[in-house]
Structure 1
Amino acid sequence: MGGGATVTDLPARWRSDEWRAELEGWLVPAIEATGRRVTGPLVQERVRFWSTVLTVETDHGKVWVKENAPSQAFEAALAQVVEEVVPGTGAPIVAVEPDRGWLATADLGAPMWHDDTVPPLESWVATARQYATAQRLLADHEDRMLASGLSRFASEPERVVAWCEALLSSLLGLPADDPRRPTTDEVSQVRDGLGRVEEAAAALEASGLPHSLQHNDLHLRNAFPLGDGAAIIDLGDALWAHPLTVTRIPMWILRSRGDLAPDHPDLRAVEDAFLEPWADVGDAGGVESLRALLPAADRISCLHRAESWRRLMGDVPFRCVDEVFQRSVTEWLVDATAPDPYSSAIAR
């Protein structure tokens, strides 16, 4: 279950005076080098076992600064590459320290989803179109994207199945009382569902679409209104993978929050926004042919979530992991192999 280069109590470190002094020693001069003047103290907004986020006021508005756990510290360098290739896709960058994984960005106000009210369809469509358009452009910059530290997720069917088998083996190697250890029924389901995973991976591999940036946590709490589109943040969970796998999280959120049927017009509208930028690529065959790939993309995307949680849990002692997240790796592996991944996840 290893992931990051070190295993440390990250929340304790991020709350320490020593760490704060190191961050502030870089941040204040980096901000002032851009012509801004710092006008307030550094405020720690939140600490989770996977990241911490702070803010500081300047004479040009609030600046946010983030540090991720080691396995996802590539976000700082990745955000810089994305901004260079597709300007305006993320929050405006104020400063980057890639060796420490520090990323400082300008404040964009409230995200599209900032309360208990699900945002209107237009916001989901705008975000989907913005992101898919960026993916299309980023697909041509694989070397630069991977050089940032972004990981490539396996695509060949046999390698995807082998990844599942290796993950299951590592989970079964945990002590009997470890909550991550799958139950007997879960083990049976995963093994019985490996054929489904293989078929899904084969369908995506045969699609002819190039791999691109799979955000792996795309939703409207990570998106901010920007012109006719959206600025999208939080790339720490990202992978280099089949582009359509990015659709699952927003589609499942819309479907579950609105209790919508799979063919509901609102879902179709968001699907279209994700698919249209790819409709003329190679042998894609148009929007309807791409739509037929979404069940396979849903299934493989569950493995992407498992991978994100797997690497994060390798960065900290297990006691640092919130109880609500302790079974995340196991549950996403179970969902990926279930007859219906959506129903499997919603049942929880």
Structure 2
Amino acid sequence: MTWTPEVWQSEAFERELREWITPHTGAVRGLVRVKDRPWSGVWRVDAENGTFYAKQNCPGQQQEARIVSVLSRIAPDFIVEPVALDEQRDLLLTADAGRTWREALADGAAVGWETLLHDAMLLARTSVPVLDDMGLTVLDPAGIRDHLIRARDEWRIPDEFRAGVDAAVDVVGAAGDQIAALGLPLALDHNDLHDANAFVGDHGARFFDFGDAVASSPLAALRVPLAVYANSIHASESDPRVLAIADAALEVWSDLAPMAELRAALTAANRLAAVARAESWHRILESVPGELVADDHRGADAEWLAESAL
């Protein structure tokens, strides 16, 4: 069976999933799909040996098991370690990891956004020597102009976004040149990094949900969390509180480039981040049947490309 979103609700799929899970969890007493998205499925597993979660991504995003396999060897303290994984089918099985960072913050726990982003950058830096092993889409800042030209020419770009995509070639190309001049290595860019995609671990954050990941400048990973944090405190992204957590992340790279230059590059990095979001949406839209995609998500890849020029 090809394990894709079209068959996730079939009895045959559930039977095969139970067969894969059971040797690792003991007898499965309950299997409930708790995330019902066309780009990924997550099932809560109530089993003899506890509570677990199984996950699979849509075909265009089937890279997470491979990424987690690599990270579990080099940075086990920074990820939710797998109980089992199948790289060929992109299946992950993890034990219940407790509270997400967002839940802990809401409960008043002594965790902070500074630690979350600092740990995320430590994980990114740790990924550098093994980046090629993950098989990620590469969005090199130095080559982002060529990537955008190919996307403009090969992707389906609705008329409403064409002018923005045309503008992005030069605008984001210049941003890529600025980032490349910093001399930072390419690293794992989670590409959907925020406080609900990390659990509270014994020594800091444990990250999960790598389906959107790309290889890019580590600074690009900061667009999403800085925006989420700013929104959570009803502030602009230029608020000193937002800049303080940005500094906690940038400090990890400050031995390679001056902090002033890293801070000055965040706007350029945000443009690269928009291209990374476009890339993950393109993978989804190219591999998920159109009838499964909500109207407001169609054209999301082109919309993000156009957004990168704003």
Q: After TM superposition, is the score higher than 0.5?
A: yes
Where does residue 64 of structure 1 map in the other structure?
53
Counterpart in the other structure of 2:149:
165
Task: Describe the SS at the equivalent of 2:139.
Answer: coil
Q: Which has the higher mean CA deviation after the structures are superposed, 243-252 or 220-229?
A: 220-229
Matches within 5 A, 1:176-187: 181-183=158-160, 186-187=161-162
* Unpaired runs of at least 5, structure 2: none
Helix, strand or coil for the counterpart of 1:245? Answer: helix
- What amino acid maps onto 1:331 in structure 2? E
Is 1:297 matched with 2:269? yes
The 3-state SS of whatever aligns with 1:64 is strand
Aligned to 1:28: 22
Shift of 1:209: 0.7
What's the CA shift for 1:331?
Answer: 1.5
1:140 is matched with 129
Matches of 1:323 and 1:42 in 2, distance apart? 30
Matched, 1:276 2:276: no
Q: Provide the rounded CA distance (Å) in 2 between the counterparts of 1:181 and 1:257.
A: 33
Matches within 5 A, 1:9-48: 10-29=4-23, 31-32=24-25, 37-38=26-27, 40-48=29-37
2:291 counterpart of 1:319: yes
CA distance 1:121–1:267, change in 2 (3 Å): farther
Partner of 1:342: none
Q: Which residue pairs with 1:102 in the alignment?
A: 91
State the 1:109 CA deviation. 2.1
User: Which 5+ residue runs of structure 1 have no aligned equivalent?
Assistant: 1-7, 175-179, 339-348
Hey, what's the Cα distance between the residues in 1 that align with 2:220 and 2:210?
A: 15
Query: Is the aligned partner of 1:155 residue 2:129?
Result: no
Where do residues 257-272 of structure 1 align in structure 2 (5 Å cutoff)?
A: 257-272=232-247
Distance apart, 1:38 and its partner CA: 3.1
Q: Distance in 1 between matches of 2:217 and 2:39?
A: 25
Give 1:71 deviation, angstroms: 1.9
Q: SS at the partner of 2:42?
A: strand
CA-CA distance at 1:278 after TM superposition: 0.9
Matching residue of 2:101? 112
Q: Cα gap change, 1:121/1:297 in structure 2, threshold over 3 Å: closer, same or farther?
A: farther
Offset at 1:317? 1.8
Q: Find the counterpart in structure 1 of residue 213 from structure 2.
A: 238
Moved more, 308-317 or 322-331: 322-331
What does 1:188-207 correspond to in 2, within 5 Å? 188-207=163-182
- Computed over aligned residues only, the root mean square deviation of the Cα atoms, in angstroms, reads 2.4
Cα distance between partner residues in 2 of 1:278 and 1:154: 17
- The letter of the residue matching 1:167 is A
- Partner letter of residue 93 of structure 2? A
Contact 1:14 1:47 in 2 (8 A): no
Give the TM-score normalised by the residue count of structure 1. 0.82
Closer/same/farther in 2, CA of residues 56 and 95 from structure 1, 3 Å limit: same
How many residue pairs align between the two structures?
A: 309
Identity over the aligned pairs, expressed in percent?
30
